[in-house]
Amino acid sequence: MTELSKTGAAVSEPAATEKDSKAFLDVRDLKVHFPTDDGVVKSVDGLSFKLEKGKTLSVVGESGSGKSVTSLAVMGLHRLGARGKNVRMSGEIWLDGKELVSAGPDEVRKLRGREMAMIFQDPLSAMHPYYTVGNQIVEAYRTHHQVSRKAARARAIEMLDRVGIPEPAKRADSYPHEFSGGMRQRAMIAMALVNNPELLIADEPTTALDVTVQAQILDLIRDLQKEFGSAVILITHDLGVVAEIADDVLVMYGGRCVERGPVEEIFERPQHPYTWGLLGSMPRIDRETSERLIPVKGQPPSLINVPSGCAFHPRCPYADLPKGNVTRTVRPELQQVDGGHWSACHLSPEDRTRIWTEEIAPKL
Amino acid sequence: MISYILRRTFAAVILLLVVSAVTFAIFFLLPRLAGQTADQLATQYLGKSPSKADILAVKHNLGLDQPLYVQYWHFIKGIVAGATYDLGPTTVHCNAPCFGYSFKTHQAVWPELTSRIPITGSLAAGAAVLWLLSGVAVGVVSALKPRSFFDRAFMGVALAGVSLPMFFTGQLAILLFRVQWPIFGRDYVPFTENPSQWANTLFPAWCSLALLYSAIYARLTRSGMLETMNEDFIRTARAKGLRERKVVVRHGLRAALTPIITVFGMDLGLLLGGAVITEYVFSLHGVGEYAVQGITDNDLPKILGVTLLAAFFVVIANLLVDLLYAAADPRVRLS
Amino acid sequence: MEGNPPIMRRSALAAVAAIGSVSLLLAGCSKADDNKNDNGKSAGANAATKDVVNASSKKGGTLTYELSDVPDSFDPGNTYYAYMYNLSRLWARPLMTFEPGPGEKGNTLVPDLAASKGVPSDGGKTWTYKLRSGLKYQDGTAITSKDVKYAVERSNFARDVLSLGPNYFQQFLAGGDKYKGPYKDKSAKGLSSIETPDDTTIVFHLKQAFQEFDYLVAAPQTAPVPQAKDKGVDYVKSIVSSGSYKFQSYDEGKQAVLVRNENWDPKTDPLRKQLPDKIVVKLKVNPETVDQDVLAGNAIDLGGTGVQAATQAKILNDSSMKANTDNTYGGRLVYLAINTTVKPFDNVACRKAVQYAIDKVSVQTAEGGPIRGEIASTVLPPDIPGYAKADAYATAGNKGDAAKAKEQLKACGKTAITTNISARSDRPQEIDAATAIIASLKKVGINANLKQFPSGKYFTDYAGVPKFTQQQNIGLMMMQWGADWPSGYGFLQQILNGKAISQSGNTNLSQYNDKDVNALLEKAIATQDTTERNSLYTQIDKKTMDDAVIVPLAYFKVLLARPQNATNVVSTAAFSGQYDYLNIGTTK
């Protein structure tokens, strides 16, 4: 914690204030660090958020901002495999009243796939090439349900049907490479939802798909969410997708949350220059290409040597506005903007409002 | 599928013809280019100070007095239709497949070869089982804990296994298991006669040969596993909540093993054509020993027999590997 | 005969070194085992070259022979290897054979199938043998002189089928060049120069007087073969025994098992003892394994060419092991043939320059040291009758004499010579010896380049082809020679006889064609008196050395390991120093 937040912060981080009532998913001060020969990679460095059932949280940010790492951390997937030993995790992840960071690996494993499930970006590489789609779904189901193969297969076919795959009984015997990209993602979703999970994490589920299929998949996720009432974390770098589906938005930069709030707030009154940049780089069909605005210039920050002060300052066009050297020396904490809307920026609220309304919004 | 196998079989036959023709050419043409006459060639198969008439008789008997293409034709014809030889008081008929008679000892090649295939086969099969099991097991464990003590230790042993010559490891195995602690038998016993004796006598040879190969397979498995365990589908398997053991075996190993099938098939095919050094060290009368004898005696029918047998095994191994691969990896189509 | 040369492939050499170190590593432990087997007594080093070791008439047990190679054939009519001449007597009784005895005593000829030695007539041109009575094959049928005649016919006159033995009978019998052999000539009469007036008499008619004919009929080629049972090349699979053992099984190239021949009658045989119940002959056994088994007392090395280099090192470092070895002559000369048809070696002075120049100690070292050969100065080795100690080109310490060599060069009218030296590429010791010779010659101005050829074609394609050596300027040729039978004639005839020079497969590498030597050879073989004959051989040896056509390098020696469980072990000069296999028994 910085000097400022200790003494002067009028309102501190959301987690701190709402400690008592636990949300369905409640992440508190999550840190995921990877010690390497070059130094410690701080992929996630003090992240807190919460999510209720039936709601969709979109986590946005560039590659390397820590959004995927966050989702894997929730799933407990970091600690597995050859690199599992090299992860340092701290903080708390509460899922439906159970704390996952301190839980034993087998405890988390039992939750994985059953209470929380995940769909991945590239369904071709994410599905095993040697097993039929049906078998892979059957395996997912039977891992958590003591049922016969036959019953599991019926369930798999039912799920394939539910996600809109034609002739599901026949297609269940096909291999992933025999599916089209969109069908594959539908199958992936069927596999994730086969156990009726209460939390669904979708990591860039549409990135690898073409635009028309993207919309179908998003529709499917939305419909299924309504039907099953699950909480959904949607990880994306595409704000178009966010606008489509999210209830809340969490903007990540350099392993930390720089802004979060309800989706309308983020789109109507974004408070952080990085969010502005993201909005600016969002393609819009109703505008001509030449008019498209400023993509965020510069490179994402190193996660080993995170820039001092505000991690965004080297790329921020307004870094010199606040008085003194504060953007370079002091790390900004999340400040409540309004209701559920929080932002971590040294710019004064006046400056932010002015820049947004005068400089940014008109160009969008 | 059937047309595929038919096509492959046809290609195999052509390949075997080419192999035999090339062997023929190397045997006859190279020495001939260096100035060897048919008489000199025939003299090699005679005792000392042969008379001119002896040389002519041998030359005629071995067919060396005929043009090369005629000799080759007779050879091929013998394989397909059998042949008749004049080798003593009566003529003998050599049934198809007739690979001819040794130039030196005048013994039929085919029965000799077939009597040796089970020995080389036993050696190769036993060693293959050992090296596949041990190599894959070591490779998997090493891959799951890369850079651990176990990994380093076993990869060190593996490196030694690859680099130590069979002359050394084999001889060491003999000294240890037959001389120092004579718990293993010495003389090959056919499997059909006494399976436990069979295994008992072959065990030291299996171990030595397997050490050589399992080292390679451990490294292959290790790198394959390291690669697959980083695949997205492994992450998916874990995300499903599978137990780690299942993730490793059903998802990781399954994918990592497939490329090993190719290498394994080829290695086994090559070995069946004769494990020359191992057979030498362990005094096993296999195909490899026969090949060496053929080369030492400059005995064409023996050399041709072994060459074709080895080529045949390699071709078969290749075909089986392709079929297996197609069965193992649904993405592969036979065409 | 060339016998069974100690071939060692280059590739195996490094391995042997490595194995040697392993063996030494384990020597500490194995020594303890050896002592256990020792039973406290050992006959001492070279005991079997002086007397029969472990003389015994104890019957029973299984005796094992191991061979790192394969023999040309077990068929007595189709073999040329010394160890097969030795071993085949167990199932094939020749007319004559050698009496088991130490060293040169083993050269004594005794009748075997014949009742007594051959009776010469017509000045040694006709030889008559009477067979013993009551001789039977393994199937109980009687052995007749016709079977002996048939055996000689098939082994010498059907060389397109049975090609691997020598053909002395073809060369020496009258009309031998016209007879087509029993397979082509189906007439009942067969070769007319062998007569069988009755079932126990056989008469050989020769082209010329041949006083050593008893040696010739000591070859397994005279062992009887029943014509009705002959299957040509396949006879080897169903040999009908006339000896004390018969084949229980025969596995081509792998193994043969012999058991007692019940129809063999000791009354017809003063030589054989028929001791072991069973004799197993294992072929193609790894040479290291052979050594281990021999040292452990489990086997006899059939090849009889001595232990491997690594084993030799181990034995020489251990006096208790050395006490169970025999270091003996192998009836063989290692030499350098000087090609008298290649200039300037047509000049005797130039040849003498080579004689003086060579440092024979360096050659001996290259060949493996004193254990593997004694420095030689005569053509005939000491274990062959006719040998007389001499050294026509003695130099101080056998280290060569550059001054004398240069003197001879001058006499030859040369200051420098450029030539080639041939050696067999797959015999590392021969290559090393040639290299040592090249170094010696260089010091006196003779520049020889090494030319390597595979041993399998050395005589048929290279060194044995006069035209080739002429074209390639091969003036010097590495060579080893052993006698087909232990006599001066048997040794000298093929390497010095001018009439034996052939266009391919030639063994008179020097192409020495001296009418005196040719005449002496003819005279010797026609001389009935043994002492006189032997003195003629000494003369030939001396004349050859005076003409300087052969540089004797070493009298080949072998280091045999003597298995301690074997009985009646004796090293005989008749079979290149091998143990005599006729009566070896086992205590096991």
Half-sphere exposure of A256 (CA within 13 A, CB side): 23
Chains A and B touch (3+ CB pairs under 8 A): yes
Place of tokens 């193992």: B328
Distance from CA of B159 to the nearest CA of C (A): 18
Q: Say yes or no to pLDDT of B87 above 80.
A: no
- Per-residue pLDDT tens over the stretch A226-284: 888 899 999 988 888 888 889 999 999 999 999 999 999 999 999 999 998 888 877 66
Distance from CA of A140 to the nearest CA of B (A): 5
Instruction: Kindly determine whether residue C234 and residue B87, on different chains, have CB atoms separated by under 8 Å.
Output: yes
Question: Of the candidates B235, B328, B330, which has its C-beta nearest A175's C-beta?
Answer: B330
Q: Say yes or no to pLDDT of C40 above 60.
A: no
pLDDT: which is higher, C188 or C124: C124
Could you state, in order of their start, the residue ranges of all structural domains in chain B?
2-109, 111-334
Q: Are B247 and B237 in contact, with CB atoms under 8 Å apart?
A: yes
- pLDDT for res A21: 64
Closest CA to C442 of C509, C348, C546, C359: C359
Q: pLDDT-derived band of residue C88, with 50, 70 and 90 as boundaries? A: very high
Chain B positions in Cβ-Cβ contact with residue A120 (cut-off 8 Å): 232, 235-236, 239
Encoded tokens for A97: 């009243």
User: If you ran DSSP here, which 8-state letter would residue B62 be given?
Assistant: T
- pLDDT for res C551: 96
Instruction: Kindly determine whether residue B242 and residue A143, on different chains, have CB atoms separated by under 8 Å.
Output: yes
User: C413: Cβ–Cβ under 8 A, 6 or more apart, which residues?
Assistant: C344, C347
Q: For chain B, first and last CA: distance in Å?
A: 8
Closest CA to B317 of B257, B275, B276, B268: B268
Stretch A168-196: mean pLDDT: 92
Distance from CA of A178 to the nearest CA of B (A): 9
pLDDT: which is higher, A6 or C535: C535
Q: Which of A308-312, C276-280, C435-439 has the lowest mean pLDDT?
A: A308-312
Chain B positions in Cβ-Cβ contact with residue A177 (cut-off 8 Å): 330-331
By the 10 Å C-beta count (0-12 exposed, 13-18 middle, 19+ buried), C471 is classed as exposed
Q: pLDDT-derived band of residue A288, with 50, 70 and 90 as boundaries? A: low
- Per-residue pLDDT tens over the stretch B117-161: 999 999 999 999 999 999 999 899 888 887 888 888 888 887 777
- pLDDT for res C128: 97
Q: Say yes or no to pLDDT of C199 above 90.
A: yes
Chain C positions in Cβ-Cβ contact with residue B102 (cut-off 8 Å): none
- Per-residue pLDDT tens over the stretch B17-43: 999 899 888 888 888 887 778 888 888
Pure H helices in A114-247: 123-126, 133-144, 149-162, 168-171, 181-193, 211-228, 239-245
Which amino acid is present at A205? Answer: P
Q: Say yes or no to pLDDT of A333 above 80.
A: yes
Q: Are C214 and C111 in contact, with CB atoms under 8 Å apart?
A: no
Q: Say yes or no to pLDDT of A4 above 70.
A: no
Angle B55-B60-B66 from CA coordinates, rounded to 5°: 120
Encoded tokens for C179: 């007879």
Q: Are C71 and C81 in contact, with CB atoms under 8 Å apart?
A: yes
Cα(A159)–Cα(A224) distance, rounded to whole angstroms?
Answer: 11
B contact residues 30-89, partner C, Cβ 8 Å cutoff: 31, 35-36, 39-41, 43-51, 53-54, 57-58, 60-61, 86-89
Stretch B100-118: mean pLDDT: 89
Q: Which residues pair with A92 in a beta bridge?
A: A28
Q: Are C253 and C124 in contact, with CB atoms under 8 Å apart?
A: no
User: C448: Cβ–Cβ under 8 A, 6 or more apart, which residues?
Assistant: C418, C419, C420, C421, C437, C438, C441, C442, C475, C476
Q: pLDDT-derived band of residue B50, with 50, 70 and 90 as boundaries? A: confident
Q: Is B261 on the interface with A (CB under 8 A)?
A: no
Q: Say yes or no to pLDDT of C353 above 90.
A: yes
The ipTM, to two decimals, is 0.86
Instruction: Kindly determine whether residue B235 and residue A177, on different chains, have CB atoms separated by under 8 Å.
Output: no
- pLDDT for res B44: 81
Q: Are C342 and C419 in contact, with CB atoms under 8 Å apart?
A: yes
Domains of chain A (ranges plus CATH)? 23-115+197-363 (3.40.50.300)
Mean residue pLDDT across chain B: 86
Secondary structure tally for chain B: helices H, strands E: 14, 2
Distance from CA of B301 to the nearest CA of C (A): 16
> Nearest residue on chain C to B88, judged by CA atoms?
C232
Q: What is the pTM of this model?
A: 0.81
Q: Say yes or no to pLDDT of C549 above 90.
A: yes
Chain B positions in Cβ-Cβ contact with residue A82 (cut-off 8 Å): 143-146, 226, 229
Neighbours of chain A (3+ CB pairs under 8 A): B
- pLDDT for res C5: 36
Q: Residues in chain A whose beta carbon is closer than 8 A to a beta carbon of chain B?
A: 72, 75, 77, 80-82, 109-114, 117-118, 120, 122, 125-130, 132, 139-140, 143-144, 175, 177, 191-192
Q: Are C164 and C80 in contact, with CB atoms under 8 Å apart?
A: yes
Q: Phi/psi at B102 (nearest 5 deg)?
A: -55, 135
Q: Say yes or no to pLDDT of B217 above 70.
A: yes
Cα(A223)–Cα(A132) distance, rounded to whole angstroms?
Answer: 26
Q: Say yes or no to pLDDT of A83 above 80.
A: no
Instruction: Kindly determine whether residue B54 and residue C457, on different chains, have CB atoms separated by under 8 Å.
Output: no
Buried-state track C284-317, b at ≥16 Cβ within 10 A, e below 16: bbbbbbbbbbbbbbbbbbbbbbbbbbbbbbbbee
Instruction: Kindly determine whether residue B240 and residue A113, on different chains, have CB atoms separated by under 8 Å.
Output: yes
SS3 C435: helix
Cα(C261)–Cα(C239) distance, rounded to whole angstroms?
Answer: 12
Place of tokens 């050094």: B277
Q: Say yes or no to pLDDT of C355 above 70.
A: yes
pLDDT: which is higher, C559 or B326: C559
Stretch B299-326: mean pLDDT: 89
Name the pairing type of β-strands A88-95 and A25-36.
antiparallel
B contact residues 258-277, partner C, Cβ 8 Å cutoff: none
Q: Are A95 and A111 in contact, with CB atoms under 8 Å apart?
A: yes
> How is domain B111-334 classified at the CATH fold level?
MetI-like fold (1.10.3720)
Q: Which of B48-52, B252-256, C572-576 has the lowest mean pLDDT?
A: B48-52
Q: Are A168 and A161 in contact, with CB atoms under 8 Å apart?
A: yes
Stretch A7-15: mean pLDDT: 40
Q: pLDDT-derived band of residue C30, with 50, 70 and 90 as boundaries? A: very low
Place of tokens 């086994």: B268
Cα(C127)–Cα(C134) distance, rounded to whole angstroms?
Answer: 22
Stretch C15-37: mean pLDDT: 42
Q: pLDDT-derived band of residue B328, with 50, 70 and 90 as boundaries? A: confident
Distance from CA of C22 to the nearest CA of B (A): 7
A–B interface: beta-carbon pairs under 8 A: 81
Chain C positions in Cβ-Cβ contact with residue B297 (cut-off 8 Å): 456
Encoded tokens for A18: 């709402």
Q: Are C316 and C371 in contact, with CB atoms under 8 Å apart?
A: yes
Cα(B57)–Cα(C215) distance, rounded to whole angstroms?
Answer: 28
Distance from CA of B38 to the nearest CA of C (A): 11
Cα(C445)–Cα(C35) distance, rounded to whole angstroms?
Answer: 55
Q: Are A310 and A327 in contact, with CB atoms under 8 Å apart?
A: yes
Chain B positions in Cβ-Cβ contact with residue C468 (cut-off 8 Å): 35
Name the pairing type of β-strands C119-121 and C109-111.
unpaired
Chains A and C touch (3+ CB pairs under 8 A): no
B contact residues 79-98, partner C, Cβ 8 Å cutoff: 86-90, 92
Q: pLDDT-derived band of residue C4, with 50, 70 and 90 as boundaries? A: very low
- Per-residue pLDDT tens over the stretch A36-57: 888 899 999 999 999 999 999 9
Q: pLDDT-derived band of residue C2, with 50, 70 and 90 as boundaries? A: very low
Cα(C307)–Cα(C322) distance, rounded to whole angstroms?
Answer: 12
Pure H helices in C143-185: 145-157, 168-172
Integer angstrom CA distances of residue A247 from A35, A261, C54? 35, 9, 104
Place of tokens 């251990």: C318
Q: For chain A, first and last CA: distance in Å?
A: 35
Chain B positions in Cβ-Cβ contact with residue A187 (cut-off 8 Å): none
pLDDT: which is higher, B302 or B61: B302
Closest CA to C416 of C363, C364, C466, C357: C357
Chain A positions in Cβ-Cβ contact with residue B230 (cut-off 8 Å): 81
Q: Are A281 and A242 in contact, with CB atoms under 8 Å apart?
A: no
User: A25: Cβ–Cβ under 8 A, 6 or more apart, which residues?
Assistant: A50, A51, A52, A74, A93, A94, A95, A96, A199, A231, A233
